[in-house]
Amino acid sequence: MGRETAVGMALGVMLDAAVGDPRRGHPVALFGRAAAALEQKLYGDARGRGVAHVAICVGSAAALGVTAEWATRRRPVARAMVTAAATWAVLGGTTLGREGRTLADALESGDLAAARRRLPHLVGRDPSGLSAAEIARAVVESVAENTSDAAVAPLLWGAVAGVPGLLAYRAVNTLDAMIGYRSPRYARFGWAAARLDDAANLAPARLTGLLAAACAPVAGGSPARAAAVLWRDGHRHPSPNAGRCEASFAGALELTLGGRNVYAGRVEHRPEMGDGREPSPPDIHRAVRLARAVSLSAAALTIGARALLASRTLRTARARTAARALGTGQRLSAVRLARAVSLSAAALTIGARA
DSSP 108-176: HTT-HHHHHHHGGGT--S--TT--HHHHHHHHHHHHHHHHIIIIIHHHHHHHHHHHHHHHHHHHHHHHH
Any idea how long the chain is? Answer: 354
Asked whether 30 and 103 are in contact (CB, 8 A), the reply is no
H/E element holding 255?
none
Separation between Cα atoms, residue 135 and residue 103, nearest integer Å: 9
Rg from Cα positions in the chain: 27
φ, ψ of residue 237 to 5 degrees: the values are: -70, 145
Separation between Cα atoms, residue 106 and residue 114, nearest integer Å: 6
pTM across the whole model: 0.87
**Long-range contacts at 15-20 (CB < 8 A, ≥ 24 apart):** 15/84, 15/87, 15/88, 16/87, 16/88, 16/91, 16/92, 16/93, 16/94, 17/93, 17/94, 19/94, 20/94, 20/95, 20/98
Separation between Cα atoms, residue 298 and residue 319, nearest integer Å: 31
Instruction: Provide, for the chain, the percentages of residues in helix, strand and coil under a 3-state DSSP scheme, each rounded to the nearest 5.
Output: 75, 5, 20
Provide the 3-class DSSP secondary structure of residue 273. strand
In this structure, which amino acid lies at residue 247? A
Ranges of each domain in the chain: 2-122+145-201+280-316
The secondary structure of residue 24, as a DSSP letter, is: S
Contacts of 348 (CB under 8 A, 6+ apart): none
Please name which of 66, 62, 65, 87 lies closest in space to residue 8, comparing C-alpha atoms: 87
H/E element holding 263?
strand 257-263
pLDDT in tens, the chain (354 residues): 678 999 999 999 999 999 998 878 899 999 999 999 999 999 999 999 999 999 999 999 999 999 999 999 999 999 999 999 999 999 999 999 999 999 999 999 999 999 999 999 898 788 888 889 999 999 999 999 999 999 999 999 999 999 999 999 999 999 999 999 888 999 999 999 999 999 999 999 999 999 999 999 999 999 999 999 999 999 999 899 999 999 999 999 999 999 887 665 666 778 899 999 999 999 999 999 999 999 999 999 999 999 998 777 656 656 677 667 666 556 656 556 566 656 665 555 555 555
